[in-house]
Amino acid sequence: MQEYWEIYMKNVDGHPASIQFNAGISMEIENQKFIHPNVAFVKVTLKEPNEKGLLSESEEPEILYLEDKLEASLIKFRIGKYVGRVISNGTVTFIYYLQFTYNWQDFLDYALDEFSHYEVSSGYQEDHEWNYYQHLLFPTAAEWQIIQNHKVCQSLAEQGDALHQKRAIEHKVYFPEGGDRSGFVQMLEEEGFSFQEDIENEEGVKGVKFYRIDKPFYHDIDALTLWLIEKSEQFGGAYDGWETSLVKL
């Protein structure tokens, strides 16, 4: 199984939530459904959550140590895979998919022997379709775009980029089912974008490349790309990301 972890923010039951999940396992999910058909959780009530109900700096070292102990116990008893965690509303929930459940209590006893001062609940149930992974942990297209946006912004910032400085930002949209390409281009031009060229990906799907002068700062690029995702879908297209040049102070 590939280990490729991502972290992002979303709302869960009306509360801000920090989601960390193993994105790599999504490439093997059809096989994993048969091998690990049971979802399980260990839910820990935080003692010192911050004002948003998330993990505070003061409590983070102990929670990370608890997470490590759970991982060590999972390896020791070989019962399943750790797929992600949700921190929200004053709790942290670690989520697993299990091959076996008969030694679940042994797993808990070994992992939590040093953490009796925490309030912990746990359990498991069948989840043959991996619904918890696919609908709670795995991001939507919009959430995934924000993850990628922030990676690009961070990379630019590390190179000394002035993220608030406007510059040309290029975008791509493909139309896998044909879609209304001409209508999409017309809409773009009405919104101040400039059409660059027709493009085609390795699978032969046709699309368009276009640009506009905008700021690549985190909140600005999030709002812009989420709007482009919505508009792309309206015209039967699929947004495929953005790129820009480095602009230093």
Is residue 69's pLDDT more than 70?
Answer: yes
The residue type of 143 is E
Enclosing H/E stretch for 242: strand 238-244
Is residue 1's pLDDT more than 60?
Answer: no
Largest Cα–Cα distance in the chain? 64
- pLDDT of 105 reads 96
Task: Read off the pLDDT of residues 103-132 as tens digits, 9 standing for 90 and up.
Answer: 999 999 999 999 999 999 999 999 999 999
Helices (H), 131-176: 131-132, 141-158
Cα dist. 180→133, 145, 152, 200, 207 in Å?
34, 23, 29, 16, 11
DSSP-assigned letter for residue 133 = I
Question: Token digits for 208?
Answer: 């368009």
Is residue 249's pLDDT more than 80?
Answer: no
| Sign of the alpha-carbon dihedral angle for 222, 224, 230, 232 | negative
Q: How far apart are CA 72 and CA 109, in angstroms?
A: 12
Percent of the chain predicted with pLDDT > 90 = 93
Task: Read off the pLDDT of residues 186-203 as tens digits, 9 standing for 90 and up.
Answer: 999 999 999 999 999 999
Domains 5-137 and 141-244 belong to one CATH topology: yes
Identify whether the C-beta of residue 213 lies closer than 8 Å to the C-beta of residue 166: yes
Q: Where does the pLDDT of residue 178 fall: very low under 50, low under 70, confident under 90, or very high at 90 and above? A: confident
- Looking at domain 141-244, which CATH architecture does it have? 2-Layer Sandwich (3.30)
- Average pLDDT estimate for 219-238: 96
Kindly report which listed range (2-11, 56-65, 167-176) carries the lowest average pLDDT score: 2-11
3 state DSSP class of 1: coil
pTM, rounded to two decimals: 0.84
- Average pLDDT estimate for 155-160: 95
Percent of the chain predicted with pLDDT > 70 = 99
User: For the structural domain made of 5-137, what CATH number should be given?
Assistant: 3.30.70
Q: How far apart are CA 5 and CA 138, in angstroms?
A: 11
All structural domains of the chain with their residue ranges: 5-137, 141-244
Task: Read off the pLDDT of residues 4-56 as tens digits, 9 standing for 90 and up.
Answer: 899 999 999 999 999 999 999 998 999 999 999 999 999 999 999 999 999 99
Q: Which of 41, 121, 138 is nearest to 80 (CA)?
A: 41
Task: Read off the pLDDT of residues 86-108 as tens digits, 9 standing for 90 and up.
Answer: 999 999 999 999 998 999 999 99
Instruction: Give 166's contacts (C-beta < 8 A, 6+ positions apart).
Output: 213, 214, 215
Nearest 10 degrees: Cα torsion 96, 98, 102, 104 = -10
Cα dist. 203→28, 176, 197, 207, 220 in Å?
22, 10, 18, 12, 31
- pLDDT of 2 reads 64
